Chains A and B, each alone.
Chain A
Amino acid sequence: MSIVVEDYHKTYGELVAVAGITFSVAPGEILGLVGPNGAGKTTTLRALAGILTPTRGRLVIAGHDLAREPIAAKAALAYVPDDPRLFDRLTVWEHFRFVAAAYRLSNWTDRAEALLEQFELTEKRNTLTSELSRGMRQKVAICCGYLHQPRAILLDEPLTGLDPRGIRTMNDSIRARAAEGAAVMVSSHLLSLVEDVCTTVLILHRGRQLLHGRLDDLRAQLAEGGQRESLEDLFFRLTEGAGREPVVGGPRAGVGGQP
Chain B
Amino acid sequence: MDRALCLLIGLQLWGWVRFIGRSLRTLKGLALALLGAVVFAPWLMTMALTPPESRADPETVWRFGPIILLVLTILSVLFSFTVQRAISFTPAEINFLFPGPFSRRQLLAYKIATSLGAGLLATPIVALALRHHSRCLLSAWVGLVLMLMFLQLFATVLALLASTVGARAYNRSRRLLLAGLVVAAVTAAFWAGKEAVHLGPRQVLEQMEQSPLWSALLAPFRWFVGAFLAERPWPDLVVAAGPGLAVNLLLLLLIFALDAQYLEAAAASSERVYAQLERMRTGGVLAVGLSGSGKARLSLPSLPWWGGAGPHLWRQLLGAQRSFMPLVVLAVFYGIVLLPIGLAIDVPRHDFQQAAILTLTLFGITPFLTTMIVYDFRADIDRMELLKTLPVSPSLLAVGQLAAPVLLVGTLQLAVLTITLVLQGSTAYWVILIAAAFAFPFNFLFFGIENLLFLWFPTRLIPTTPGDFQLMGRHILLMMAKVLAIVAALGPAACLATAALVVASVLGAEPAVTVGLAMAGAWLGLVGMTATLVPLIGLAFERFDVSRDLPP
- Chain A residues with CB under 8 Å of chain B are 49-53, 70-72, 74-75, 77-79, 81, 84-90, 94, 97-99, 101-103, 128, 130, 141, 144
Contact = CB atoms under 8 A, between A and B. Distances in A.
A89 B91 CA distance: 14
Contacts of B3: 101
B15 interface: yes
A49 B103 contact: no
A227 B100 CA distance: 45
Most buried by A among B95, B99, B101: B99
B12 to A, nearest CB: 6
B359 interface: no
B16 A89 contact: yes
Given A98-B4, A98-B7, A101-B7, A71 B102 contact: yes
24 contacts: A49-B98, A50-B98, A50-B99, A50-B263, A53-B261, A53-B264, A70-B103, A72-B101, A74-B102, A77-B99, A79-B99, A81-B95, A85-B94, A87-B8, A87-B15, A87-B96, A89-B19, A90-B11, A98-B8, A98-B11, A101-B7, A102-B101, A141-B95, A144-B96
Given A79-B99, A98-B11, A51 B4 contact: no
A51 B263 contact: yes
A74 B264 contact: no
B99 A85 contact: no
Contact of A51 (B7, B8, B267): B267
Interface in B60-107: 90-92, 94-96, 98-103
Given A51-B98, A102-B101, A89 B7 contact: no
Contacts of A90: 11-12, 15
A41 B26 CA distance: 46
A97 B552 contact: no
B18 interface: yes
A51 B15 contact: no
Nearest to A52: B264
Contacts of B91: 85
Interface in B1-38: 2-5, 7-8, 11-12, 15-16, 18-19
A51 B91 CA distance: 12
Given A51-B94, A51-B267, A87-B92, A74 B99 contact: yes
A18 B118 CA distance: 39
Nearest to A49: B99
Contacts of B98: 49-51
Interface in B95-130: 95-96, 98-103
Nearest to A51: B98
A131 to B, nearest CB: 9
A90 B18 CA distance: 10
A66 to B, nearest CB: 11
Nearest to A150: B99
Nearest to A145: B99
B101 A89 contact: no
Given A51-B94, A97-B7, 10 more contacts: A49-B98, A79-B99, A85-B91, A87-B11, A89-B16, A89-B19, A90-B11, A98-B11, A102-B5, A103-B101
A89 B12 contact: yes
A71 B95 contact: no
A141 B96 CA distance: 9
Contact of A87 (B5, B12, B18, B552): B12
Nearest to B552: A130
A18 to B, nearest CB: 14
Contacts of A98: 4, 7-8, 11, 96
A130 B22 CA distance: 14
A102 B95 contact: no
A52 B98 CA distance: 9
Contact of B263 (A53, A77, A86): A53
A98 B103 CA distance: 16
B7 to A, nearest CB: 5
Contacts of A102: 2, 4-5, 96, 100-102
A224 B387 CA distance: 56
Contacts of A84: 95
Nearest to A83: B91
Given A89-B15, A89-B16, A74 B101 contact: yes
A51 B104 CA distance: 11
A235 to B, nearest CB: 27
Contact of A86 (B4, B92, B101, B102): B92
Contacts of A89: 12, 15-16, 18-19
Interface string B426-466: 00000000000000000000000000000000000000000
Contacts of B100: 74, 102-103
A49 B100 CA distance: 8
Contact of A85 (B8, B90, B102, B103): B90
A81 B91 CA distance: 11
Contacts of B2: 102
A11 to B, nearest CB: 12
A84 B94 CA distance: 10
Contact of A71 (B5, B15, B92, B103): B103
Contacts of A79: 95, 99
A233 B18 CA distance: 53
A156 to B, nearest CB: 11
A151 B261 CA distance: 26
A63 B490 CA distance: 75
Contacts of B264: 51-53
A54 to B, nearest CB: 10
Contacts of A141: 95
A85 B2 CA distance: 22
A87 B94 CA distance: 11
A132 to B, nearest CB: 13
B130 to A, nearest CB: 30
B101 A97 contact: no
Contacts of A94: 11, 15
B4 A101 contact: yes
A88 B99 contact: no
B92 A88 contact: yes
A137 to B, nearest CB: 10
Interface in B321-364: none
Contacts of B19: 89
A119 B540 CA distance: 41
Contacts of A88: 15, 92
A81 B100 CA distance: 13
Nearest to B274: A85
A81 to B, nearest CB: 6
A71 B103 CA distance: 7
Contacts of A52: 264, 267
A144 B97 CA distance: 12
B535 to A, nearest CB: 37
Contact of B95 (A53, A85, A128, A130): A85
Contacts of B16: 89
